[in-house]
Structure 1
Amino acid sequence: MATASIQIVLEQDSILSQQIVNERSMVATNDDSEPAVPVGASVGGKRNVFDMFSLDGRVAVITGGARGLGYSMAEGLCAAGLSGVAILDLQSDLGERACEQLYSEFGVSAKFYRLDVRDEIAVQDTMNSVVRDLGRIDILILSAGVADIVHAEEYSPEKFRRVIDINLNGSFLCAQAAGKLMIAAGRGGSIVFVGSMSGSIVNWPNPQCAYNSSKAAVIHLMKSLSAEWAKHRIRCNSISPGYMDTPLNTTFEGEYFHEWKSRTPMGRLGRPDELAGCALWLASDASSYCTGSDILIDGGYTVL
């Protein structure tokens, strides 16, 4: 008798479950006003991973953004929905043209500011101007940099200091100025330093001790700031490219290009746009638990 009762209960549960499934199916079938799970909606309480890359409503500042790697990263961020982008560079013609192109292609509010990153007062004034003109600073990409190929015994102290001053001190001054504004705003932010594989290895045969030293210092500066500013929800990371096909590197085409390619497992130089995806990841919520990391993008050069 007990067994028969259990069987009846199970059958009733089965019938009820099937009725619920059928009713849900009818609702999904008959209500054609919108899909059951809209594109981009959260699923099971979790955000759609593609939404995590969105930069809607955010403002980015990019030093050295008038051309080359900086401009390519600016394009990548604008494609993700920035509301504003500030291009900081010494080259006014290129900078104005870059902003025109970004506005034309993406419809983003783009402003150019002429800046020498070594000038502490100008850096602070420029960052304040960005907040005044574009409303906020959420992302900073530090792409301004120079390189020399000079044998160490022939390096003049003046030229050596110039590389350190632009690559390292300029990165610090810009990060400090933007960091203060991010801290005051209380929203956190993302600062992406542009290091180099030369900050981790001595790439041969180039005589470039100043550049190598400056990029090693940039990477350690990034790590130091990532620890200090984590409490303010400011994430600091760096991208370290290998040999990239940029105007800076093409000046050495006759002397070094063959060596660079032959020592890179992928057998070529990187395209500037091949950094854009990583820059977007680091700038966005998709990397929200990533800070203090240096990401090598070098075609395999440093694995050898």
Structure 2
Amino acid sequence: MSTQLFARSITVVARPGARAGSSALRARFSTRPALQNAAPAQAKGGKSPRVLQDFSMEGRVCLITGGARGLGNEFCRAFIDSGCTTMAILDLKQSEAEDAARDLVATACLNSDSKPEDFKIIGLECDVSSERSVIKAFNETMDTFGRLDSVVASAGIVENYSAFDYPFDRIKRLYDINVHGAFFTAREAARNMIPQGGGAIVLVSSMSANIVNIPQPQTPYNASKAAVKHMAASLGVEWAKKGVRVNVLSPGYMLTKLTKTILEHDRELKKTWESLTPMGRMGEPHDLAGAVVFLASDASRFMTGAEVRVDGGYCII
């Protein structure tokens, strides 16, 4: 669960607009699930199978908040897997954003014909709870790339306190990051997308926008994610005729590094979450890759203000 973000840029590789070959995109991340490492299936005659080009992120300039770790980093990898070579990674700590940018390039070049110079990825320091910091990060992104096509507001935090015990300063911090940060990110994205003819914005909410989690108490978090969900619907309507689409991605319980660490000390909690999920398991971060690419690409060109839940069926029952 990534928190905030960056504003001093580090260019990992130059040559904006350079694109990796399609064969490279299929074999990028050797650490991903087994299917990612398999050789691409061949159609008759030795040709690669046809794929729907609307899902391609090739040639798009992407920006992801909270992109140094957790689900935000998974979204960065999903975009590169889908052809993106130009990206701004935003996160709170400069060093972590720089490391994430370098790692993305290095991993993308493993077992592929891609070269570091095929990518231009910058790290931007930015605190999403600060309007001034978000504006600065977007201005620097535009100065570097000249346009923005797909933006994901992924930065967020979660805490578990009972309603009587939740310190007010922590409630305010949670709303400043989860709600105000999502709004600042969406607003600055649209401000830069509208003059160029449009773009796609994805706000990351949670299944908690629709249900009440048990057994852990987290009322302010649930309310913040419900706000993000309705924010996407409202902005989607407001900007619909200006070419800017705003949709929301709502994950269920996901096995991020942070979640795994927590559950190592609470095995019963993991069993409870799995038993409440119809599919009987928690999600892997990579389970969100297809959904975020769908919402950020032309594949969802007639969708705005909509929610895509990836929760193993949790919200159904």
Bin the TM-score by the shorter chain: 0.7 to 0.9
CA contact (8 A) 1:148 1:211 kept: yes
The letter for the 1-side match of 2:182 is S
**Equivalent residue, structure 2, for 1:210:** 220
**Equivalent residue, structure 2, for 1:104:** 106
| Equivalent-residue separation in structure 2 for 1:247 and 1:159 (angstroms) | 23
Q: 1:198 aligns with which of 208, 221, 224?
A: 208
Structure 2: state its 5+ residue gaps.
1-46, 109-117
**Equivalent residue, structure 2, for 1:51:** 53
The letter for the 2-side match of 1:303 is I
Distance 1:301 1:124, change over 3 A: same
| Equivalent-residue separation in structure 2 for 1:216 and 1:274 (angstroms) | 22
More helix by share: 1
Superposed CA RMSD in Å reads 1.9
| Equivalent-residue separation in structure 2 for 1:190 and 1:53 (angstroms) | 13
| Equivalent-residue separation in structure 2 for 1:291 and 1:212 (angstroms) | 22
CA contact (8 A) 1:78 1:108 kept: no
Count, aligned residues: 261
Residue 261 in structure 1 maps to residue 274 in structure 2: yes
What is the Cα deviation at residue 125 of structure 1?
1.1
The letter for the 1-side match of 2:154 is S
**Equivalent residue, structure 2, for 1:229:** 239
CA contact (8 A) 1:49 1:286 kept: no
> SS at the partner of 1:252?
helix
The letter for the 1-side match of 2:63 is V
Q: 1:171 aligns with which of 155, 168, 182?
A: 182
What is the Cα deviation at residue 135 of structure 1?
2.4
Residue 302 in structure 1 maps to residue 308 in structure 2: no
Q: 1:279 aligns with which of 277, 284, 292?
A: 292
> Structure 1 residue runs of 4+, over 2 Å off?
91-94, 104-108, 247-252
| Equivalent-residue separation in structure 1 for 2:178 and 2:94 (angstroms) | 20
The letter for the 2-side match of 1:244 is M
**Equivalent residue, structure 2, for 1:91:** 93
Q: 1:247 aligns with which of 257, 274, 279?
A: 257
Q: What's the TM-score, normalizing by structure 2?
A: 0.78
| Equivalent-residue separation in structure 1 for 2:261 and 2:104 (angstroms) | 26
> SS at the partner of 1:87?
strand
Give the 5 Å matches for 1:143-162.
143-162=154-173
| Equivalent-residue separation in structure 2 for 1:207 and 1:233 (angstroms) | 39
What is the Cα deviation at residue 98 of structure 1?
1.2
Q: 1:119 aligns with which of 116, 130, 144?
A: 130
| Equivalent-residue separation in structure 2 for 1:230 and 1:250 (angstroms) | 39
Percent identical pairs in the alignment equals 42
1:238-274 alpha-carbon deviations (Å, 9 max, x no partner): 1100000113423531332221112112222111111
Q: What's the TM-score, normalizing by structure 1?
A: 0.82
CA contact (8 A) 1:167 1:214 kept: yes
The letter for the 2-side match of 1:225 is L
Give the 5 Å matches for 1:122-141.
122-141=133-152
Q: Which has the higher contact order (CA 8 A, sep 6+)?
A: 2
| Equivalent-residue separation in structure 2 for 1:144 and 1:247 (angstroms) | 15
- Structure 1 or 2, whichever has the larger Rg, is 1
Structure 1: state its 5+ residue gaps.
1-37, 41-47
**Equivalent residue, structure 2, for 1:30:** none
